[in-house]
């Protein structure tokens, strides 16, 4: 059985009863980035600024969000030197979603909720698309009886992670200063505001799609929310859109488990393994057997 050791529940813990409340911090942060991206992006567009957006988005999403924040910090699906972990996780913070501790809590709360017999629509992306967009970008969920967290000592007592978490919005400044020196204000707007806006929207969109439409090869019994593979987004998400695979084997460093699937993040990890920078890459065969996990015939849902 898959167990998340960070989530501490009681008999009263309930994933389905709670309120969705407006988050002033999200309104200011996300709203400010979106407004600057739309207005500033329009007036400062150039080919060089577009290339900066593409390069920074690709590198930060791959090394930061996928390899650093998700596969290493949250799931411990491979090992690496501490300095490399810090660097990757820092890039994950620069994505603009939250700090390392905030990301762990957000991820693990959703993960726990989706594996319950029932959960709030906020966790399962089960409201109409426009409403879910507003909920995920500008609101928080407050459960009436929420579980607590027992985040590992290495993370919770780390001065580096504590600093990153307290200053996660300010982590954009070093990159912004470098872009300003190299290309001026247009590079800052496209390398920071447009990139963060697209990353946040993209993170929501893939989450929405990967819990509502796509292909399934695996079913998790008793879980109210199932994941779906969204192949057309695999390249853009560095393999993260193979969400049915990830629901089935959360601890796997490789998300591309079926013939013809492409996981860029896994390919990068394999290159780093050859360089001796990462090791002990976990795959499904290295994980304990889960009694609630069932292989099913290929299924599509729209």
Query: What tens-digit pLDDT sequence spans the chain (302 residues)?
Result: 455 689 999 999 999 999 999 999 999 999 999 999 999 999 999 999 999 999 999 999 999 999 999 999 999 999 999 999 999 999 999 999 999 999 999 999 999 999 999 999 999 999 999 999 999 999 999 999 999 999 999 999 999 999 999 999 999 999 999 999 999 999 999 999 999 999 999 999 999 999 999 999 999 999 999 999 999 999 999 999 999 999 999 999 999 999 999 999 999 999 999 999 999 999 999 999 999 999 997 766 65
pLDDT, tens only, 192-238? 999 999 999 999 999 999 999 999 999 999 999 999 999 999 999 99
What global pTM score does this model have?
Answer: 0.95
- Residues 138/188, Cβ–Cβ less than 8 Å: no
The structure tokens listed for 110 are: 């959703």
Q: Around 259, how many Cα atoms within 13 Å sit in the side-chain half-sphere?
A: 1
Rounded distance, CA 222 to CA 290, Å? 12
Bridge-based pairing state of the strands 148-149 and 214-220: unpaired
163/292 Cα distance (integer angstroms): 39
Q: Read off the pLDDT of residues 3-14 as tens digits, 9 standing for 90 and up.
A: 568 999 999 999
**H helices of 100-143, where?**
100-114, 121-124, 129-138
pLDDT at residue 5, as a whole number: 81
Contact call for residues 75 and 250 (beta carbons, < 8 A): yes
- Rounded Cα–Cα distance for residues 244 and 233 (Å): 14
- Using N-to-C axis directions, what is the helix angle for 159-166 and 100-114, rounded to 10°? 80
Q: How far apart are CA 161 and CA 169, in angstroms?
A: 14
Task: Identify the pLDDT of residue 1.
Answer: 43
User: Cα torsion for 91, 95, 99, 104, to the nearest 10°?
Assistant: -90
CA distance 55 to 49: 10
* CA of residue 36 relative to chain centroid, distance: 23
């Amino acid at each position: 059985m898959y167990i998340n050791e960070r989530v501490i529940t009681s008999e009263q813990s309930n994933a389905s009863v709670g309120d969705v409340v407006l988050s002033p911090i999200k309104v200011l942060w996300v709203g400010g980035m979106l407004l600057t991206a739309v207005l500033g992006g329009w007036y400062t567009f150039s080919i060089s600024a577009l290339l900066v957006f593409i390069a920074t988005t690709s590198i930060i999403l791959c090394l930061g969000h996928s390899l650093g924040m998700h596969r290493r910090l949250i799931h411990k699906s491979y090992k690496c030197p501490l300095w490399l972990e810090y660097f990757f996780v820092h890039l994950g913070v620069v994505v603009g979603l939250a700090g390392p501790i905030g990301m762990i809590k957000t991820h693990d709360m959703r993960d726990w909720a989706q594996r319950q017999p029932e959960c709030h629509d906020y966790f399962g992306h089960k409201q109409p698309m426009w409403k879910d967009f507003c909920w995920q970008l500008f609101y928080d969920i407050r459960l009436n009886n929420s579980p607590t967290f027992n985040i590992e000592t290495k993370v919770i007592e780390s001065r580096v992670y504590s600093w990153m978490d307290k200053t996660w919005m300010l982590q954009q400044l070093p990159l912004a200063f470098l872009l300003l020196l190299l290309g001026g204000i247009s590079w800052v707007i496209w390398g920071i505001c447009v990139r963060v806006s697209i990353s946040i929207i993209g993170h929501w969109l893939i989450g929405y799609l990967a819990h509502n439409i796509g292909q399934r090869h695996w079913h998790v019994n008793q879980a109210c929310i199932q994941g779906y593979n969204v192949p057309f987004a695999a390249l853009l998400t560095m393999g993260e859109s193979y969400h049915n695979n990830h629901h089935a084997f959360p601890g796997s460093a490789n998300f591309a488990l079926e013939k013809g699937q492409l996981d860029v993040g896994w390919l990068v990890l394999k290159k780093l393994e050859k360089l001796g920078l990462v090791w002990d890459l976990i795959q499904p065969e290295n994980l304990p057997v889960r009694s609630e996990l069932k292989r099913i015939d290929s299924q599509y849902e729209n």
